[in-house]
Chain A
Amino acid sequence: MSKNTDHKLTELPKKKFKLMNLVWLIVLVGGFFLSVNATNAHISVLLDPANFGQFTEIFVQMCHPDWSYAATAIPLLIETIKMAVLGTVIGSAVAFVYSLLIARNIIKNKAVTGILRFIMNIIRTIPDLLLGAIFVAVVGIGPVAGVMALSVFTFGVVVKLFYEAIETIDPGPIEALTAVGANKLQIIHFAVMPQIITYFISYVLYAFEINVRASTVLGYIGAGGIGLYLQQTLQVFSYDKTGMIIIVIIIVVVLIDYVSSKSREALMK
């Protein structure tokens, strides 16, 4: 290299030691071993020939579905879809009004929005099947418990997405309507609604996709729908029938996902 002192190149400085990276690594590795210990989920447990053989055997049986069982499944499949529709409609309707009440650009009172948001955040934490179990305990076994669980769950999904969409709208039209002398409802109708209605429909469709998935297993805990057959067939070890039910579920879920996501794309154009 050149000996010219003007171009003297300095040595590579040592890479800075980042303490936080080490901390994260320890958390990750430590968490891994702690979890393995706590859950006893050693990979050897799974790969134990007896266990793994059992698993594959069930799987193989499921892969030879009992096609004749498909016809039996139809009525409960319809009930499942009905549950998902009703849960979506009821939950979204409540979420619609609630979102307007917790959007800070609509309701200026921070105490009101704060309390309502707190309630919403708590409802959102409860998983769908847990809601199902609670409602089965409250209203008894049957699809009504499922509809209620799905409604509450839908509410949680839609309200979060929707109020955030409301808060990001262009504030200009709201200001213009205020200056015109419009009242609150007129402002919502003319300045807010046109900006958010497509988002709302899109979120409702999204919630419907999730609900169809959720409704297929709700029956397992007695909250109505095709999940009931999952429980019945698994209990008597007739995995060929379970396999049939699962295939039906997968077809319906994939189909509805596809239709719904295509309509959402069309909507957002």
Chain B
Amino acid sequence: MDNTLKKLPPKPVNYKTRTIHWLIAIASIVIIIWSFTGMDFSGIKATAGQIAGAIISGIFHPDWSYVWNGSGEDLISQLWETLCIAFLGTFISAVISLPFAFWAANTKHKKWYASRSGKLVLAVIRSFPEIVLALMFIKAVGPGSAAGVFALGFHSVGMLAKLFSEAIENLEIGANEAVIAAGGSKWNIVMFSTMPNLMPALISNTLYRFDVSVRSASILGLVGAGGIGYPLIIALQYRQWNRVGIILLGIVIMVILIDWISGWIRKKLV
């Protein structure tokens, strides 16, 4: 073995990648610093600490009388309404999403522009603010949970159809070919091969979307589209911190329960 050990050579540098890395780093830092400019942190209300304390104390001393009083305006009724909005909204969007998903899925034997245009439409639907949609439906059908249902039903299509189309893209085409080989029509392929293979993914994605919808449904009330959001914003405006506390607790428990149940079902599906 040679004992003449060489000196460590300097690290070889790739100037191109290095320059790019530096540029990205500098650009990120500049953007972050720029974002701080014009943010008036001194504009925070002097009472901020006090109110935050009041809300936290409200969470620990919730207004139990609000949980159930049979008037239909209590926590349980409002949470139930929220769940119903989410359920129906997801149901509607799942039905609408299917044809959209087949449109947007980038599968073989398809012109490139077909799936591209589908994906673009879905991207636009996704980006159309849910709240604005809710307000449009409020103008149409009046304030209340129906507007929330329709807003949720249409808005969710953007995300759900995207997930569906990805599931379609990931399908094995072997089963399709078996049906084709047996002389099946396009419709036969969908009924005997695509749908059975797709079902678990569709259910799983819909359940996942239901989780998200429950969260969305609980904010739709902020603009008057039904559900628990409305009493919350009222309680915040009237500074009823104990009521804010119980509503927050209610939302947290509802969301955790739904997440837990849908997670359990999804696990069983696999």
Contacts and interface: CB of A to CB of B under 8 A. Distances in A.
A89 B32 contact: yes
Interface in A86-134: 86, 89, 121-122, 125-130, 133-134
Contacts of B236: 133-134, 136-137
A137 B223 CA distance: 16
A197 interface: no
Interface in A232-267: 234, 242, 246, 249-250, 253-254, 257
Contacts of B131: 129, 217, 220, 227, 230
Interface string B208-233: 00000001101100110010010011
Contact of A147 (B32, B39, B127, B237): B39
B136 interface: yes
Contacts of A121: 256
Contact of A39 (B136, B226, B251, B259): B226
Interface string B93-136: 00000000000000000000000000000011001111110011
Contact of B128 (A34, A234, A250): A250
Contact of B132 (A42, A125, A230): A230
Nearest to B253: A125
A82 B34 contact: yes
Contacts of A227: 129, 131
Given A130-B219, A134-B55, A139-B45, A249 B127 contact: yes
Given A129-B222, A133-B222, A41 B88 contact: yes
Given A41-B88, A242-B132, A125 B40 contact: no
A143 interface: yes
A221 B140 contact: no
B141 A253 contact: no
A216 B45 CA distance: 23
A136 B237 CA distance: 10
Interface residues of A, number: 60
B45 A140 contact: yes
A149 B138 CA distance: 26
A190 B168 CA distance: 41
Interface in A8-26: none
A247 to B, nearest CB: 10
Nearest to B32: A89
Contacts of B229: 129-130
B139 A55 contact: yes
A254 B129 contact: no
A125 B41 contact: no
Contacts of A83: 35
A34 B223 CA distance: 24
B51 A38 contact: no
A39 B85 contact: yes
Contacts of A257: 123, 127
Contact of A31 (B87, B141, B226, B232): B87
A52 B140 CA distance: 6
B251 A58 contact: no
A218 to B, nearest CB: 10
B129 to A, nearest CB: 5
B232 A133 contact: yes
B233 to A, nearest CB: 6
A138 interface: yes
Contacts of A220: 131, 223
28 contacts: A31-B91, A34-B84, A38-B81, A39-B145, A39-B146, A40-B145, A41-B88, A55-B139, A59-B136, A85-B32, A125-B215, A127-B215, A127-B218, A129-B131, A130-B251, A138-B55, A140-B44, A144-B41, A144-B44, A213-B127, A216-B129, A217-B132, A230-B131, A234-B135, A246-B128, A249-B129, A254-B127, A257-B127
8 closest A-B pairs by beta carbon, nearest first, are A55-B140, A39-B145, A41-B149, A125-B255, A35-B84, A35-B88, A140-B45, A41-B146
Interface of A: 31-32, 34-36, 38-42, 45-46, 48, 51-52, 54-55, 58-59, 79, 81-83, 85-86, 89, 121-122, 125-130, 133-134, 136-140, 142-144, 147, 213, 216-217, 220-221, 227, 230, 234, 242, 246, 249-250, 253-254, 257
Given A38-B81, A130-B222, A142-B40, 5 more contacts: A54-B140, A125-B256, A129-B229, A220-B223, A249-B127
